[in-house]
Chains A and B, each alone.
Chain A
Amino acid sequence: MAEVQTFHPVTGSEIVNTAKNMLKEGYRLIQICCTKTPTEMDIIYTFEKLNLQCENFKLPVNVGDTLPSISGVFFAAFLYENEIHDLYGVNFTGMAVDFKGTLYETAVKQAFSMTGAENKE
């Protein structure tokens, strides 16, 4: 237990090529997760091989940024990307299925892009 996990840095322009490389090496996408803290915001892509080996990539991002979608490489990515679009306000281009902000219809738009510390004022 408690193995050390590394998060490889990656940029928005590289992410599609990274995903293609991972696909070639036999990895599959298991999650995309967006994190917003008061100081930073990033998206984590986790890939996993069939032998359970796992790789993480960290992509720094800001609210309102536009990123290329990787759903052309990994079909399953469209759900995660729509989720991040609806909750964090990060835009993706070329999603396999684009819900246009209707996946999660929250009362407050981009509900998760505000952190608790900012909300408290």
Chain B
Amino acid sequence: MGERTIIPFGPQHPVLPEPLHLDLILEDEKVVGAVPSIGFVHRGLEKLVEKRDFHEMMYVIERVCGICSFIHGQGYVQTIEGIFGLEIPDRAKFLRTIWAELSRVHSHLLWLGLMADAYGFESLFMHCWRVREKVLDIFEETTGGRVIFSVCKVGGVWKDIDNETLKRIVEVLNVVEQESKALTDVFIKDFTVQKRTRGVGVLSYQDAIDVGAVGPTLRGSGVAMDLRKLGYAAYGELNFEPIVEKDGDCYARTIVRVRELYQSIDLIRQCVSKIPDGEIEVKVKGNPKGEYVSRLEQPRGQVVYYGRANGTKYLERFRVRTPTFANIPALLKMLPGADLADVPLLALTIDPCISCTER
């Protein structure tokens, strides 16, 4: 029984440039407890909803996060459409799905790069981001922005992708898939990587459910839960199954993301082959009145939006519950029993995005 020490972890660049702070309670080298603190970058974007009308707010909500910006925008417009009871055209649904899945590809590649960086595979990190660059180029070509797309609108999308470009996207993705195969083999098979990740930070099936983990963290513990199965946007017409790994350790969470990367590419191929022609937006008349909870699957996990409108052009409340917010308790469950040296890796496997957690 050693002496207890408290070591502060973060908030200055813990493993990734996000202000996550943990007070780690250590007994010798083992973590026995942790207290998180967030709140370093609280921006109060949710409050802005009272001063911007509901069309403008789309552009603000997108800026909650720089990685899943598209899905934040999509969630916002889905909430407003839910309040209106609006049905958007099929082509708009498919376009949204394509952009959302492209976001997942780029987010997972980004995360894999950071993961490689966390265990010191510097060049693997750069290779991951080199491949990701191709996806960002697709974004710039189709939406005009590399990070913030601003293509969603209440009632549809602003921009169409013509069928030629869609075909070219699939061709680019074939290259992306081929190039990532060589990279992801390292994450799956490399001896050193497995030494660092296997059996570290195990989150059991029951714990994952109890603490409310979401996304790859949850699926890495063997729970087959994927919000895309709700069938929002065009997911109802696509053929896919949630990706599940049983072990619940860092390795399992990595593998879930690796497999989701290929699943997303496959989903985009399905979208391109099934996308119907037609309108991309419907006219929105009047102001929303009512309340609505909408749930979506982001690359990091489930995201929950709540909107309330009172019939004026300003919403009364819009709330974003981001995946990291739900995964912080899961992180606290994983940490006890881990070595101090594994803490950065563990913190990274929930894919924390603190700026979007605090909004």
Contact = CB atoms under 8 A, between A and B. Distances in A.
Are A and B subunits of one complex?
yes
Interface of A: 1-2, 5, 7, 28-31, 33, 35-37, 44, 46, 48, 50, 52, 54, 56, 74-76, 78-80, 86, 97, 99, 102-106, 111-112, 115-117
Nearest to B316: A37
B51 A116 contact: yes
Interface residues of B, number: 48
13 contacts: A5-B82, A28-B212, A30-B302, A30-B326, A31-B304, A33-B321, A35-B316, A75-B210, A76-B211, A97-B35, A102-B39, A112-B46, A115-B316
B86 interface: yes
A29 B310 CA distance: 27
Nearest to B93: A1
Contacts of A7: 291
Interface of B: 35, 37-39, 42, 44, 46-47, 50-51, 78, 81-82, 84-87, 209-212, 214, 223, 225, 227, 229-230, 232, 291-293, 295, 302, 304, 306, 308, 310, 314, 316-317, 319, 321, 325-326, 328-329, 333, 358
B275 to A, nearest CB: 18
Given A75-B210, A76-B326, A103 B51 contact: no
A48 B213 CA distance: 12
B329 A76 contact: yes
Given A31-B321, A103-B39, A116-B50, A2 B306 contact: no
Given A50-B209, A75-B211, A33 B225 contact: no
Contacts of B295: 30, 48, 52, 54
Contact of A106 (B35, B42, B51, B310): B42
B211 A52 contact: no
A114 B229 CA distance: 38
Contacts of A44: 293, 306
Interface pairs A-B: 9 shortest CB-CB: A116-B50, A76-B212, A31-B321, A76-B329, A35-B317, A104-B39, A33-B319, A2-B85, A37-B316
B77 to A, nearest CB: 12
Contacts of A78: 329
Contacts of B81: 1-2
A97 B35 CA distance: 8
Contact of A103 (B37, B87, B210, B319): B37
B237 to A, nearest CB: 13
A5 B38 contact: no
A71 B125 CA distance: 39
B230 A112 contact: no
Contact of A30 (B35, B51, B321, B333): B321
B317 A37 contact: yes
Contacts of B82: 1-2, 5
Contacts of A105: 39
Given A30-B321, A54-B293, A79 B328 contact: yes
A33 B306 contact: yes
A104 B293 contact: no
B308 A30 contact: no
Contacts of A76: 211-212, 326, 329
B272 to A, nearest CB: 22
B308 A37 contact: yes
Given A30-B304, A33-B321, A76-B326, A5 B293 contact: yes
A84 to B, nearest CB: 11
A113 to B, nearest CB: 11
A29 B37 CA distance: 21
A2 B86 contact: yes
A60 to B, nearest CB: 14
Contact of A99 (B37, B308, B314): B37
Contacts of A56: 293
A76 B86 CA distance: 33
A78 B358 CA distance: 15
Contacts of A103: 37-39
A44 B317 CA distance: 12
A5 B295 CA distance: 12
Given A2-B84, A30-B212, 9 more contacts: A30-B295, A31-B306, A33-B317, A35-B308, A35-B317, A37-B316, A76-B212, A103-B37, A111-B47
